């Protein structure tokens, strides 16, 4: 029987690592002939992934993790200027270590190397695949429409040669989006003159060198985007999602006692009565914005669970969000007492577990792609409140192209103008409308998402074609 080894290279961030590992488990569950080695690059600023990585090695005998040697990251000033450039430069500095690890620990085995599967920020590693004479595949943790945007960037850059302009009144016609995309919802890096923009242009260019692109989405959700990939010069695109870590919590900040209280409280609430506010591992807000949000929740009259994360003070070297230690000083006077029976405020929230609970009726979300897939999977409608990265354009697609989310503030950016309580309250009430068209559409998409990954589903078939391609490279 032909066997094959794949080398996975994830970006050292929780959302990227977890998604790629879910894909690894998907492949291994489908074919016994495959085995996987994961090259681990330790995050330069946080160390919350070690326990998760150890659990992978302990529970999956056909996944082997190799930690690459330490490399000094770029200066912190680069991170503050552009996360995209910081991550791109950091990953690129690991190319020689990755090649050496593959030669010494993978090629020395009797199982042939079938290729490299690299995260969307690790496209520099495609060069390593070329040097080793094996195929490369890009694993795209974001949605298919955003993949289309990344593939569009090099073409646009070759035509105009400059970044996007925030003052540009015209919308961009991007083939993977149904509607023209206004500049107000383009990712922040699109306007970045100090490396962020060109880094992403280069990622888009490198993607076209891969043998295939694997996207964590499914055809029924993004049929328009997938159809746009039939153009010349684009490698085969495989919809392999939704890939979700349904076990949920992997973060070492998890407070089990606190989460037990949340579970107990949810168990006592009526079905679909609670609105859940959570904004990802880097989602945070200023004190004035937290106050407006509190006013909106109280006025809405709905039960709520709110994961409160406070922006770091200006001037910090790395602006990481934190739990808010003195809520009384930040929230309106008397708010905590008045809402004690109908609301729960927490720090880091067990998001997947909360979304899965029957009491949850709506999700005020930053529209990170993993969170969006989790919400759709559980049939929970979203009110779109993006914060950073590609979340604004995700929110635009969910609201305008797909009709699967309620608009809260599509063009919000971290550190931007404070969103008024009235606007938040309006969105929450719309979100929690039990008879809304959005709610009906989300319920239908929930069923489609679950069918996509089982036998007979679109993603199940797509993964099967991919496995045939991978093993076809190693026929003895």
Q: Where are the domains of the chain?
A: 4-243+453-472, 256-449
Q: Is the pLDDT of residue 1 over 60?
A: no
pLDDT cut 90: percent of the chain above it: 77
Mean pLDDT of the chain: 92
Specify the CATH number of the domain 256-449.
3.40.50.2000
Q: Is the pLDDT of residue 232 over 90?
A: no
pLDDT of residue 59: 73
Q: What string of DSSP letters covers 181-235?
A: B-GGGS-GGGG-TTTHHHHHHHHHHHHTTSSEEEES--TTT-HHHHHGGGSTTPP
* DSSP strand pairing (322-323 vs 309-310): antiparallel
For the entire predicted model, the pTM comes to 0.94
Residues 398-442: pLDDT tens digits?
999 999 999 999 999 988 899 999 999 999 999 999 899 999 999
Strand partners, 276: 305, 363
pLDDT of residue 325: 63
Residues 130-161: pLDDT tens digits?
999 999 999 999 999 999 999 999 999 999 99
Q: Is the pLDDT of residue 252 over 50?
A: no
- Range 100-104 average pLDDT: 97
Q: Is the pLDDT of residue 313 over 80?
A: no
**Using 50, 70 and 90 to split pLDDT, how confident is the model at 47?**
low
Lowest mean pLDDT among 137-151, 156-170, 292-306, 371-385: 156-170
Nearby residues of 433 by Cβ (< 8 Å), 6 or more positions away:
439
Nearby residues of 219 by Cβ (< 8 Å), 6 or more positions away:
226, 239, 452, 458, 459, 462
Q: Is the pLDDT of residue 473 over 90?
A: no
pLDDT of residue 60: 78
Residues 179-218: pLDDT tens digits?
999 999 999 999 999 899 999 999 999 999 999 999 999 9
CATH class for the region spanning 4-243+453-472: alpha beta
**Using 50, 70 and 90 to split pLDDT, how confident is the model at 64?**
very high
The token pair that represents 252 in the structure block = 């070492």
**Using 50, 70 and 90 to split pLDDT, how confident is the model at 233?**
confident
Lowest mean pLDDT among 149-153, 208-212, 251-255, 291-295: 251-255
Domains 4-243+453-472 and 256-449 share a fold: yes
Q: Is the pLDDT of residue 71 over 60?
A: yes
- Range 55-73 average pLDDT: 86
pLDDT of residue 314: 55
| Contact in structure between 457 and 451 (CB atoms under 8 Å) | yes
């Amino acid at each position: 029987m032909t066997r094959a080894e794949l080398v996975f290279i994830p970006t050292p961030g929780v959302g990227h690592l977890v998604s790629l590992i879910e894909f690894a488990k998907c492949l291994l569950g489908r074919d016994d002939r495959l085995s996987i080695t994961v090259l681990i690059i330790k995050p330069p600023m946080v160390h919350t992934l070690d326990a998760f990585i150890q659990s992978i090695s302990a529970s999956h005998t056909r996944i082997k993790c190799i930690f690459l040697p330490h490399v000094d990251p770029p200066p912190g000033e680069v991170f503050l200027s552009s996360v995209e450039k910081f991550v791109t430069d950091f990953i690129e500095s690991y190319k020689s270590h990755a090649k050496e690890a593959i030669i010494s620990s993978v090629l020395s085995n009797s199982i042939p190397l079938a290729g490299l599967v690299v995260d969307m920020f690790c496209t520099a590693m495609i060069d390593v695949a070329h040097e080793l004479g094996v195929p490369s595949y890009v694993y795209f943790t974001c949605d298919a429409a955003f993949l289309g945007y990344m593939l569009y960037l090099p073409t646009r850059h070759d035509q105009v040669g400059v970044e996007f302009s925030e003052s540009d009144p015209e919308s961009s016609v991007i083939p993977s989006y149904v509607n023209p995309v206004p500049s107000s919802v383009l990712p922040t890096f699109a306007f970045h003159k100090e490396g962020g923009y060109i880094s992403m242009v280069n990622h888009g260019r490198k993607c076209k060198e891969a043998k295939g692109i694997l996207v964590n989405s499914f055809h029924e959700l993004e049929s328009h985007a997938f159809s746009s990939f039939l153009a010349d010069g684009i490698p085969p695109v495989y919809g392999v999602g939704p890939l979700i870590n349904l076990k949920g919590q992997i973060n070492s900040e998890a407070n089990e006692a606190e989460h037990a209280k949340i579970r107990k409280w949810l168990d006592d609430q009526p079905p679909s009565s609670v609105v859940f506010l959570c904004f990802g591992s880097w989602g945070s807000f200023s004190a004035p914005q937290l106050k407006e949000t509190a006013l909106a929740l109280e006025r809405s009259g709905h039960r709520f669970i709110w994961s409160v994360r406070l922006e770091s003070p200006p001037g910090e070297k790395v602006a990481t969000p934190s739990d808010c230690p003195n809520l009384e000083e930040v929230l309106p006077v008397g708010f905590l007492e008045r809402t004690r029976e109908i609301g729960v405020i927490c720090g880091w929230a067990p998001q997947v577990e909360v979304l899965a609970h029957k009491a949850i009726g709506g999700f005020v979300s930053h529209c990170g792609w993993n969170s969006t897939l989790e919400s759709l999977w559980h049939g929970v409608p979203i009110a779109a409140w993006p914060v950073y990265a590609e979340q604004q354009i995700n929110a635009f697609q969910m609201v305008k192209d797909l009709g699967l989310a309620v608009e809260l503030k599509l063009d919000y950016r971290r550190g931007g103008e404070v969103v008024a309580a009235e606007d938040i309250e309006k969105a929450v009430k719309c979100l929690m409308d039990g008879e809304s068209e959005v709610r009906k559409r989300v319920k239908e998409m929930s069923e489609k998402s679950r069918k996509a990954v089982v036998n007979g589903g679109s993603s199940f078939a797509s993964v099967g074609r991919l496995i045939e391609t991978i093993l076809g490279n190693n026929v003895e």
